[in-house]
């Protein structure tokens, strides 16, 4: 099967040029000007469009069992929605229950993901510790291509990893050449603040950000960074939302430590006023952790993205509908944490980043695709427009516009956190594994077409990190 993209401008993380792109059997076979179409090839007109690597969302939670319910987007509906927005691969999270065998949880997630319409990989969370966890981390890394392990520093009494777990798991990750990642919030402080607020009669969604102030995030980010420093392992911090967290990352990077930071599209453009909406459903729909912050933090996030202290953009896509959110109507701590966004991430980042001059198109590609591929060792299979790479491409229309709305999105959720925003810069067409799966408003996602992506251990920065620590 062959597909020829004709007349577009190729834009990757470093340069741009006019060229046709020939895709054969799911891979990029040729890039050159004025390519002849092979017999029987599908020809896709890219005139006036940018041909970019398909987006990679390194932080999603499809059909996640969480807080007494299950996220409403499954692996098919969620990845299909991603394709409509230009995202062609995700890295989801396997989250074992306390005391659950890691391999058992991994097999469950692999089964759920068989319906995915786009390629996928997994981070595996370490939620407890004993010798079986140590063993299973090795099996996952060496036999199943799991190159990253997640640690929740929040959600006390459920999946929170204390310092002992962090130390043990970080050391094991270093041995394996795998990357530890953390959700940085001080779970003990969150727990205590929740109790205090509820005792004072603050039960609505406005209590959510009050129980998770910026300092809670900053403290946890710094603690995880310093543990990683002592152990000598690189570190990736997910969904940074607060100035204090990015300052901790910038400080560590300034000292030569390899720390990578992620930011969500929502945290860049939405502020904490949403939690004071008098309509419970609208306020609760924005409950996620960490919460949306005051505007000063948004500016700090943009600056960190521009400065290179934040490297990837994600969504933390974890969709819950209004009846699910209503479980916390009388207690904000019981509102299922999570928002959608996989369909809108790239358009939001282009509109507010590239159109404003905060980002160049090349920086946009890096932040939405290439950096994630490099950090999580998928590059150049993913995140690149080059011969031999997977034919995962988005044909981007920088002049195209749309209004974001739950009424028209493909995500299986009844609310959109970007509702009513008019964006300029959209995915006009999306190609996944050489197939045209989004064609100017028509979604041709195929259930089960997505492939599992095993990832090699010891990415290049691991070797550099090892050498740096060896000469100390």
Print pLDDT tens along the chain (472 aa).
899 999 999 999 999 999 999 999 999 999 999 999 999 999 999 999 999 999 999 999 999 999 999 999 999 999 999 999 999 999 999 999 989 999 999 999 999 999 999 999 999 999 999 999 999 999 999 999 999 999 999 999 999 999 999 999 999 999 999 999 999 999 999 999 999 999 999 999 999 999 999 999 999 999 999 999 999 999 999 999 999 999 999 999 999 999 999 999 999 999 999 999 999 999 999 999 999 999 999 999 999 999 999 999 999 999 999 999 999 999 999 999 999 999 999 999 999 999 999 999 999 999 999 999 999 999 999 999 999 999 999 999 999 999 999 999 999 999 999 999 999 999 999 999 999 999 999 999 999 999 999 999 999 998 888 777 765 5
Residue 69: the pLDDT is 95
pLDDT given for residue 468 in this prediction: 74
In a domain, 334, yes or no: yes
Residue 319 resides in a domain:
yes
Cα separation, 96 vs 402, whole angstroms: 39
- C-alpha distances in Å from residue 424, one per residue of 233, 288, 400: 40, 27, 6
3-state helix, strand, coil in the chain (%, to 5): 35, 25, 40
Asked if residue 314 belongs to a domain, the reply is yes
The whole-number pLDDT of residue 116 equals 98
Q: With left for phi above 0 and alpha for psi between -120 and 50, is residue 208 left, alpha or beta?
A: alpha
Residue 263 included in any domain:
yes
Domain membership flag for residue 20: no
The answer to whether residues 181 and 237 touch, using CB atoms and an 8 Å cutoff, is yes
Q: State phi, psi for 38 to the nearest 5 degrees.
A: -60, 160
Q: Considering the domain boundaries, does residue 79 fall inside one?
A: yes
Residue 76 structure tokens: 């098919």
Classify strands 27-32 and 50-53 as parallel, antiparallel or unpaired. Answer: unpaired
Predicted local distance difference test score (pLDDT) of residue 471: 58
Domain assignment of residue 45, yes or no: no
CB atoms within 10 A of CB 472: 5
Number of independent structural domains in the chain: 1
Classify 290 as helix, strand or coil: coil
- How far apart CA 34 and CA 19 sit, in angstroms, is 7
Distance CA 358, CA 305 (A): 9
Q: Is residue 338 part of a domain?
A: yes
- Ramachandran region of residue 239, left (φ > 0), alpha (ψ -120 to 50) or beta? left
Token pair belonging to 223: 């603690």
What is the span of the domain harbouring residue 343? 54-381+454-464
Rounded to whole angstroms, the Cα distance separating 133 from 153 reads 18
Residue 273 to residues 214, 269, 334, 396: CA-CA distances in angstroms? 15, 12, 20, 32
Q: What is the pLDDT of residue 466?
A: 78
- CATH number of the domain within which 163 lies: 3.20.20.140
Taking the model in full, what pTM does it have? 0.97
């Amino acid at each position: 099967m062959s597909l020829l993209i004709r007349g577009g401008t190729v834009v990757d993380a470093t340069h741009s040029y006019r060229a046709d792109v020939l895709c054969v059997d799911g891979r990029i076979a040729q890039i050159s000007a004025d390519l002849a179409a092979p017999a029987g090839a599908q020809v896709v007109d890219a005139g006036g469009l940018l041909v970019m690597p398909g987006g990679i969302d390194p932080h999603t939670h499809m059909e996640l069992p969480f807080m007494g319910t299950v996220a409403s987007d499954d692996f098919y509906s969620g990845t299909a929605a991603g394709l409509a927005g230009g995202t062609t691969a995700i890295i989801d999270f396997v989250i074992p229950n306390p005391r659950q065998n890691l391999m058992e949880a991994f097999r469950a997630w692999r089964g759920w993901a068989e319906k995915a319409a786009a390629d996928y990989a997994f981070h595996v969370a370490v939620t407890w510790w004993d010798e079986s966890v140590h063993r299973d981390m090795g099996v996952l890394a060496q036999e199943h291509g799991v190159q990253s392990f997640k640690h929740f520093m929040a959600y006390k009494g459920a999946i929170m990893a204390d310092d002992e777990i962090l130390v043990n798991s970080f050391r094991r990750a270093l041995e394996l050449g795998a990357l530890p990642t953390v959700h940085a919030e001080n779970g003990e402080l969150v727990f205590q603040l929740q109790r205090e607020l509820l005792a004072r009669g603050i039960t609505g969604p406005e209590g959510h950000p009050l129980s998770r102030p910026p300092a809670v995030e900053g403290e946890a980010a710094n603690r995880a960074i310093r543990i990683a420093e002592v152990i000598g392992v690189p570190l990736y911090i997910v969904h940074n939302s607060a100035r204090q967290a990015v300052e901790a990352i910038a400080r560590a990077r300034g000292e030569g430590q390899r720390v990578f930071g992620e930011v969500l599209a929502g945290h860049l453009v939405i502020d904490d006023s949403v939690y004071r909406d008098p309509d419970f459903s609208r306020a609760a729909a924005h409950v996620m952790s960490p919460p949306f912050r005051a505007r000063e933090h948004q500016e700090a996030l943009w600056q960190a993205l521009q400065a290179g202290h934040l490297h990837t953009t994600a969504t933390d896509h974890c969709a819950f509908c209004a009846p699910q959110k209503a479980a916390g109507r009388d207690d904000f701590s019981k509102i299922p944490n999570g928002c959608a966004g996989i369909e809108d991430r790239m358009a939001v980042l282009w509109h507010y980043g590239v159109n404003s001059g905060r980002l160049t198109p090349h920086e946009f590609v890096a932040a939405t695709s290439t950096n994630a591929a490099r950090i999580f060792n998928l590059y150049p299979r993913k995140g690149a427009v080059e011969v031999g790479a997977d034919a995962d491409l988005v044909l981007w229309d920088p002049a195209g516009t749309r209004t974001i709305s739950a009424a028209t999105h493909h995500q299986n959720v009844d609310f959109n956190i970007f509702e009513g925003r008019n964006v300029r810069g959209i995915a006009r067409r999306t190609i996944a594994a050489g197939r045209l799966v989004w064609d100017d408003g028509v979604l041709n996602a195929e259930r089960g077409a997505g492939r599992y992506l095993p990832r090699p251990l010891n990415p290049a920065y691991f070797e550099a990190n090892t050498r740096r620590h060896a000469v100390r």
